[in-house]
Structure 1
C-alpha cells in the first residue's frame, strides 16, 4: 500500500486558468493601470518637491524632456494596437496550419504557452499604458503653473516598448517551433510525463471498501470529465464517514443522469459538493488525464500515416515518444489509486488506465495502419523489443501480443518474402 501526497487545493483552478487565454491579458491590463497610477504619483511628487524648493528651472528642463518623449509615446499608442493585430493574425494562421498538419489538439499548446500569453499581455499593457500617459501631459507651459510632468511615465513606456520587442522575438521563435513536428511531440511528451509524475502510484491491494450504500448521478451538462477536485471530495467523504469511488475515468464522456460517484459506507455527499468538485467540459485537458498525452501522439501518427499525408517519418517520431512514455510507466504501479485524509483513512478511489490500457492505446491503432509502411513497422518492433527488456515478467503479455499482431499484419499485407523480412527487422530509426 503506497503513501500518497495530499492534493493541492488550488490546483484545479490554476490548471483551468492555464487553459484560458483571457486571464493573463486581463490581469496585465489591471497591472498596467496600477503601474500608471504609481508612476503618475511619482511624477507629481517630483514636481511638488521641486516647487517647494522653487527650482522652476529644473521643472522647465523636465517639461522639455517630457515634451520630447511625448512624440515617442504618441507613436507607440498609435502603432501598438495595429502591431498586435498583425502579429497575432499571422500567428493564428500558423497555428491553424500546424493543427491541420498534426492534430487539432495542438492548439492547446498555443493556448497554454506562457510566452504567448506573456507577449499578448505586455503588448496590450504597453498600449493601455501609453494611452494613460497621454492623459497626463499638460498644455501649461509656465513652470510655476505645472502640476505634473510625466517623466517617470515616459521612461516606463520606453521600458515597456523595449520589453515588447524582446518578447516579440521570443514569440516568433516559439511560434515557428510550433510548426515543427519534433518540438510539438516533445512538448506533448514532457507535459504527459509531468502529469504522470503528479499522479499518486496506482494499486489498491489490501484496501477493502465497505459495502456500496448509494450512487451520486451527474446533474450538470453533458461533456468530458476533465478533472476532479480531489481535496474537496476527500473532505466531503470524511464528513460523511464514507468512501467515494469515482466511476468514470478522467477523459470519459458523461451525460446527465449517469452515476459519477459510488458511495461505500456512510451517507452520500450533497449534490452541491459534486457540482463544485467535478469539472465537465468540451475537451480533455492534461491536468489529471494521464492518457491524454499518449492519445495526442497516436493521433498525430495516425494522421501522418493517412493516404492524404503519407509521412511515415512523423509517425516514427511519435513512436519514439510513445516508447519513451511507456518506458517510464513500465515498472510503475498502475490502475486505481486511493486518496486518504489527514488521518490516513481511504476516502476516495479513482480509476486510472492500467498497463494493458496504455499499451493498447499506444500501439493498437498504429499497428493496424502500419502494415504497409516498413519504416513504421521496423520502429514499432524495435520499440516493443526495448519495452520487453524493461517491463517485469507480469507485463510482457500485451507487448508480445502486439508484436505477434504486427508480424501477422505484415504477413497479410506484404507479398514478397524479402520485403516481409525487411519490414520485420527491428530498427530504432525505422529506415536510417
Structure 2
C-alpha cells in the first residue's frame, strides 16, 4: 500500500496546478478563520488597527503578487524548455516536480487570492476590532513568508533547468529507484528466471509502458483461483500486441474457468515510462543526456565524462550488499518476478555513450577506466557485463580513431580493464 500511495503521490506532484489550487483554497479559508477572533471577549484588549492600514497592506500585496506569480510562471516555463533542449525531454517530469518552484508559485498565488478575498471582506465590514487585528497579523505573516519564499526561489530558479542541475536530479531519482529495487528485488514476489516462461500467456489491452505492477492484486487473484503467475514484463517494458505481460499455470485442484482480465489490469500501463519503479529508465535518461552532449552540434565531452562518473556511483550502489533488516519479505508466493538483469542495465547506460564517444579519446578512455573499476566490484554479473562492454567500446574506438597513439592508449586501458580481478584496482 505504501508503494502504491507513493506512486500516485508522485503523479500528483507532476501536476503543476495541484499545489496552487490547494494553496488558493487554504487562503480563502484563512480569511474566514480570522473572523473567529471577533467571537471571543479579548477584542477590547487588543491593539486598535485601523481598517485603512489593513486595506493599504492588502492592496499592495494583491498588486504585487499577480506580477510576481506571472513572472514565476514565465521563469519556470523557460526552465522547462531549457531542460528539454539542453538535456532530454524525458527529464521534464523531474523538473516540473521541483518542490521549491512549485511551493513558490503556490505561495505567490495563495497570497494573491488571500489579499483579494480579504480586501473584499474588509471593505464590506465583515470584521470587527479583533478580526481586523487578526487579519493584520495574518497579512504580515503572509508578507514575510512571501519575501522568504521569493529569496529562496530566486536562488533555485537560477539553477532550475540547467544541465548540471538536471543531471543531479536524474541521478538522485535513479539512485532512489535502485535502492528500492535492491530492498525488493522481486517486488514482494518469489524469484523467477526471466528467460524461461511456461503456461498460458496473458496480454494487455493497452499499448504503452508498464509503470507499476500490483503484485498484491495478482497474489489475491491467484489465491482465489488457484493460479501460479510468472511476471514477464517488469516496470519499463513496452506492452504491445503479441507481448505477454505474464504467464499463468493452473493448480491441478483449481477450476479452469477463470478470467484473465484482473491479471492484465494489475499491470498499470501508461504512455510514458516513470522513474519510481523503473531504475533502468533513469539510466536511459542519463545516457541520452550524454549522447546529446557528444553530438557535433553540442560537442561537450565534459558532460559525458561527468555522467560516466554518475553511472559508476549508481552501479557501485547497486553492487553493495543489502542489510538483512532492509530486505522486504517475499510474501506473494504465487507470483514469480524476475530480477533486473545487470547486462540490460549496462546496455541502457553505456551503449549509446560508447557509440557516440568512440572517436573522442577523453570519453573512450574514461569509459575503459569506469569498466575497470566496475570489474573490481564483488559482483560476478557486473564483472562479466563490464568486460563485455569494455570489448565493445574498444571495437568501436578501433573503427573510428585515426591517430595511432590515441588508439594505443585506449588499447592499454582496455587491456587493463579486461585483466583486473575483484578487489581494489591499482593503476
The bucket for the TM-score relative to the shorter chain is 0.7 to 0.9
Q: Deviations over 1:197-245 (max 9, x none)?
A: 112125966899xx9664443234x322211233333333333332333
Cα offset, 1:388, TM superposition: 0.8
1:280 equivalent in alignment to 2:252: no
Partner of 1:94: 79
How many Å separate the matches in 2 of 1:269 and 1:14? 30
Match of 2:309 among 311, 320, 337: 320
Partner of 2:179: 197
Partner of 2:48: 62
How many residues were matched structurally?
400
Partner of 1:430: none
Tell me the TM-score normalized by structure 2: 0.83
SS of alignment partner, residue 172 of structure 1: helix
Partner of 1:296: 285
1:162 equivalent in alignment to 2:144: yes
1:362 equivalent in alignment to 2:346: no
1:40 equivalent in alignment to 2:35: yes
SS of alignment partner, residue 171 of structure 1: helix
Cα offset, 1:422, TM superposition: 3.7
**Would the alpha carbon gap of residues 274 and 401 (structure 1) be closer, same or farther in structure 2, given more than 3 Å must change?**
closer
CA contact (8 A) 2:80 2:96 kept: no
CA contact (8 A) 1:7 1:231 kept: no
**Would the alpha carbon gap of residues 171 and 238 (structure 1) be closer, same or farther in structure 2, given more than 3 Å must change?**
farther
Cα offset, 1:16, TM superposition: 2.0
Partner of 1:386: 373
How many Å separate the matches in 2 of 1:84 and 1:339? 44
Q: Which runs of 5+ in 2 are unaligned?
A: 415-427
Aligned-residue CA RMSD (Å) = 3.3
CA contact (8 A) 2:208 2:271 kept: yes
Partner of 1:13: 8
How many Å separate the matches in 1 of 2:298 and 2:114? 47
CA contact (8 A) 1:330 1:391 kept: yes
CA contact (8 A) 1:136 1:148 kept: no
Describe how 1:102-251 pairs up with structure 2 within 5 A: 102-138=87-123, 146=128, 149-199=131-181, 200-202=184-186, 214-220=200-206, 222-251=207-236
Partner of 2:295: 306
SS of alignment partner, residue 350 of structure 1: strand
Structure 1 residue runs of 4 or more that deviate by more than 6 Å after TM superposition: 338-341
**Would the alpha carbon gap of residues 261 and 34 (structure 1) be closer, same or farther in structure 2, given more than 3 Å must change?**
farther
Q: Which runs of 5+ in 1 are unaligned?
A: 1-5, 428-432
SS of alignment partner, residue 13 of structure 1: helix
Partner of 2:423: none
Partner of 1:3: none
**Would the alpha carbon gap of residues 147 and 181 (structure 1) be closer, same or farther in structure 2, given more than 3 Å must change?**
closer
CA contact (8 A) 2:34 2:131 kept: no
